[in-house]
Amino acid sequence: MDASKHPILSSISSPEDLKALTPEQTDDLAAEIRSLLVETVTRNGGHLASNLGAVELTLALHRVFDCPADKLVFDVGHQSYVHKLVTGRYGRFGTLRQPGGLSGFTNRDESEYDPFGAGHSSTSVSAALGIAEAERLRGTGNYTVAVVGDGAFTGGMIHEAINNLGDRRNLRLIIVINENEMSISKNIGRFAMAISRIRSTPRYFRTKDRTRSFLSRIPLIGRGLVRATVRVKKFLKNALYGSNYFEDLGLYYMGPVDGNDRARVEEILREAKRCGECAVVHVKTVKGKGYPPAEQTPQAFHSVRAAGDSSTGGFSAEFGRVICDLAAKDPSVCGITAAMSAGTGLSAFEREFPDRFFDVGIAEEHAATFCAGLASDGLRPVFAVYSSFLQRSYDSLVHDIALQRLPVVLAVDRAGLSRTDGATHHGIFDVSFLSGIPGIAIFTPATYAALRKTLCRALGLPGPSAVRYPGGSEEPGIVARFYPGGDDGVIRQRAYSVGAGTRCVIVCHGRMAQTAAEAAEELTASGLDTGVILCEFIRPYDEALAGVLELVPSDCESIIFLEEEIRSGGFGMNMADAFARLFPGHPYAIGIVASDGCFPVPAEGQSVFEAAGVDRASVVAATLELNKEI
């Protein structure tokens, strides 16, 4: 990092240094942080607009609270970059989202200032409530603060946690709602905003404190007067401009205030500390603040690609084109997303078929059961969802979709290892957990043409199915090796360099076909004649195995199953099990190369595939080891 460009920021090694700054220096620091955010995120990729909007809010939090004794829990954690910068990680910030570098989210292994890791939405209040209860039981007196974006309130888990607050309102728990896109309360309009300005000024807080103190000292009736005054004030406020969700639940609500006005945020946070009960602080921030392109189009700068990434949507965009074509021919086709229309490629579908497009918010479990309802009444729902987010839908998949054999199509995006977002976004579990659910077909296209034909097939099935595909674009090497004459439109297993004399066959699916082919070429050059079979579908496994065996030569000696998902319950184990059941005396030596019982996190200079043990070198080594024993 070039400290000369950030003279104040480079001097901050902990929040204590931040507290020593004058207000003017703190505002200058905000400008330095914004400059560094734009420079780093546009180079490395990551979440830009939300972090630019949260600069003053984060500085205020660290100036008011005493971290790490007080705990800051960021929802999702994608808006924690400023938090990282003022908690001793400035020197490493250039490694953001790089192998061996800083995570793009909060991470307990990274810093004592990250008390709870994140990556998925709507977990913060549940976690913060648990932490606050632990602090209460230990009698520490520490505060716990959950920083929640308004978008997280589309997820039911947030509301479950707030409902669970119950009589725990005396906890030292503060929930900061960072509203930057949509309104979450009724108090809108000029009058309401004028009232909120009065209620969030230092003079208001001082007057309220003095009044409460004076009344409480009156003998015999003082405490009763305080309670009566609070009730009257609440009645008048509600009569004038209504209450809101939090106040209706009996929570102490404060705001809204301008979240980009650091001084005002600090004042309201200090009042929240003094109130003596669980409080909700509502701030309004501007996404992309201080960077005009991001302010004008915050959605475009929500998640920024790394410099040099020239991808144009890849499989997600192709899925969007295919689903639009299919919907134009079939009026029963519907598109469903859990707040990810742009990320999953459904934006065009939303424009072309608004009546058949449903964004349910960050509520994947609801999305799956909603799809079940659509399917039960004759429609053909397609739920486009990232593999790592589909994990939240498991009960709905089992109980509401599979048990009733409903024809719901899961378009499982970002399947496989995540190169940049890390362990929270690895799509390495869906094959295993879907394989355990009766009746679900699993398609594994590795090319755009295969994606189109498998989606067509999936929509014609009488029961549930999953079409899983990776992030990024198709590999030209896979197209050239496995489809040299073009795709014939038939869904089947495909062979590359498999024929008489092939001693070993690597069986794979998805983008692992590229790694498998490169490993096979290296093995063949070293004297072990090796070929590859690419599976376009993997479940039903018996049927998938039959397609593989049609291509395996009679003189083959060993078969390696390669996948980038977890080994336990995955493709390799299920195929090996099918072998054992159907052909108990088969002559092949069987090996499995998969992500083995870990959350792969690459070290500096290492790819995520190397960290998972599914890179070319690992495949070559495993294949040679297996064939040593023959």
- Looking up residue 321, the CATH number of its domain turns out to be 3.40.50.970
- The predicted-structure confidence for 499-557, as pLDDT tens digits, reads as follows 999 999 999 999 999 999 999 999 999 999 999 999 999 999 999 999 999 999 999 99
Do 288 and 343 reside in the same domain of the chain? no
- The predicted-structure confidence for 592-602, as pLDDT tens digits, reads as follows 999 887 899 99
Residue 379, domain member (yes or no): yes
CA atoms of 78 and 124, how far apart (whole Å) = 12
Contacts 24+ apart (CB under 8 A), 266-273: 266/60, 266/63, 266/64, 267/200, 267/201, 267/202, 267/205, 268/200, 269/60, 269/61, 269/64, 269/65, 269/174, 269/176, 270/64, 271/205, 272/174, 273/64, 273/65, 273/143, 273/174
Residue 258, domain member (yes or no): yes
Do 285 and 376 reside in the same domain of the chain? no
Give the pLDDT confidence score for residue 194 in this predicted structure: 37
CA atoms of 294 and 32, how far apart (whole Å) = 17
Do 49 and 167 reside in the same domain of the chain? yes
pLDDT(187) > 50: no
The total domain count for the chain is 3
Give the pLDDT confidence score for residue 193 in this predicted structure: 44
Average pLDDT over residues 22-41: 95
Residue 287, domain member (yes or no): yes
Return the minimum-mean-pLDDT range out of 224-228, 233-237, 253-257, 394-398: 233-237
Quote the mean pLDDT of the chain: 89
Tokens of 57: 């809010």
Q: What's the CA dihedral at 559, 561, 562, 565 to 10 degrees?
A: -170
Burial of 40 (0-12, 13-18, 19+ CB in 10 A): buried
Give the pLDDT confidence score for residue 181 in this predicted structure: 65
Residue 301, domain member (yes or no): no
364 annotated active-site: yes
Q: Kindly give the interhelix angle for 55-64 and 262-274, rounded to the nearest 10 degrees.
A: 40
Q: Which of 233, 264, 296 is the last residue of a domain?
A: 296
Find the catalytic residue in 364, 474, 475, 536.
Answer: 364
Residue 331, domain member (yes or no): yes
Give the pLDDT confidence score for residue 291 in this predicted structure: 86
| Range of 76-80, 251-255, 527-531 with top mean pLDDT | 527-531
Do 325 and 454 reside in the same domain of the chain? yes
Find the catalytic residue in 199, 392, 419, 452.
Answer: 392
Structural domain for 42, as ranges: 3-185+244-296
Give the pLDDT confidence score for residue 188 in this predicted structure: 34
- Cβ 408 vs Cβ 383: under 8 Å: yes
392 annotated active-site: yes
pLDDT(359) > 60: yes
Return the minimum-mean-pLDDT range out of 35-39, 173-177, 302-306, 371-375: 302-306
Q: What's the CA dihedral at 601, 605, 610, 612 to 10 degrees?
A: 0
Q: Which of 233, 261, 296 is the last residue of a domain?
A: 296
Which amino acid is located at 269 in the chain?
L
Residue 531, domain member (yes or no): yes
Give the pLDDT confidence score for residue 190 in this predicted structure: 41
Alpha-carbon distances of 461 from 64, 375, 405, rounded to whole Å:
58, 12, 10
Average pLDDT over residues 313-341: 96
Task: Enter the pTM of the model.
Answer: 0.86
Better-scored residue on pLDDT, 303 or 223: 303
pLDDT(197) > 80: no
Share of residues in the chain with pLDDT > 90 (%): 75
Give the pLDDT confidence score for residue 176 in this predicted structure: 96
> What is the band of 305 on the pLDDT scale with cuts at 50, 70, 90?
confident
Other Cβ atoms closer than 10 A to 27: 14
pLDDT(298) > 90: no
pLDDT(131) > 80: yes
Find the catalytic residue in 287, 380, 494, 567.
Answer: 287
Do 425 and 527 reside in the same domain of the chain? no
Do 523 and 388 reside in the same domain of the chain? no
Do 17 and 158 reside in the same domain of the chain? yes
pLDDT(216) > 70: no
Average pLDDT over residues 112-128: 93
Residue 486, domain member (yes or no): no
End-to-end CA distance of the chain: 54
Do 354 and 435 reside in the same domain of the chain? yes
233 annotated active-site: no
- Cβ 454 vs Cβ 536: under 8 Å: yes
Q: Which of 468, 483, 514 is the last residue of a domain?
A: 468
- Cβ 102 vs Cβ 84: under 8 Å: yes
Do 178 and 72 reside in the same domain of the chain? yes
Do 497 and 444 reside in the same domain of the chain? no
Do 20 and 98 reside in the same domain of the chain? yes
CA atoms of 613 and 598, how far apart (whole Å) = 10
Instruction: Tell me the pairing of strands 357-359 and 530-535.
Output: unpaired
| Range of 177-181, 216-220, 279-283, 293-297 with top mean pLDDT | 279-283
Tokens of 273: 């500390």
Total length of the chain: 630
Give the pLDDT confidence score for residue 222 in this predicted structure: 62
Average pLDDT over residues 23-32: 95
pLDDT(195) > 60: no
Residue 103, domain member (yes or no): yes
Other Cβ atoms closer than 10 A to 582: 13
CA atoms of 630 and 622, how far apart (whole Å) = 13
Do 11 and 157 reside in the same domain of the chain? yes
Residue 530: CA atoms inside 13 Å, Cβ hemisphere, count?
26
Q: Where residue 591 sits, what CATH number does that domain have?
A: 3.40.50.920
